[in-house]
Structure 1
């Protein structure tokens, strides 16, 4: 139960707003951690991703609740939603940015979807070869 699956995709950077803009890959990539190691390593080299000059965002996508075996788990804080866990580090640095996407599931959809900037960053390491 500790390592729940999630999806990943990459987004271009909107030059005007600095926020995530368009998906780089046509399909999200499903990831599952199958060991008990602290770090999760993924090789994306088969996807031939070209990093745009303005950079890109990595999107961690939580699956639909029906895709998880349970909806809630017991934590040291009580009952919480059973979703993948990503570690955050608080920051005030302008060049470090993380956003959360808030989808709107009813019509009109596009007008109400938005990206909210966090005052923290998700910590990941990226290695380019």
Structure 2
């Protein structure tokens, strides 16, 4: 992974849309089944909307039915970081971009083989590049 990206909150607000800022910088979430990448099945790569780091590929994307894009693994283990999230009266594992520490979503141990993981990720935290445009 490349060097960390650190911006001021004012710089993040200027760079991101209000929805992207809410998700990436305030650990918000979009409503289920409303994200633009929930149903995307085109080959390509998903990048962090905050810093452009590659995070996931369509090869690891699957329809979990959860209402958010779901992936069985990141593009590389060093692409994301995880930490314990005890917000909203629950204990979950938060997924962050390793480069800019933007909130992406959460990971759950109910995914398909071989990882058994479901990375449940907000579309607002992602940009997508189809394989033919990468």
State the TM-score, normalized to the length of structure 1: 0.25
- The structure with higher relative contact order (CA 8 Å, sep 6+) is 2
Larger of the two Rg values belongs to structure: 1
Instruction: Select the structure that is richer in helix.
Output: 2
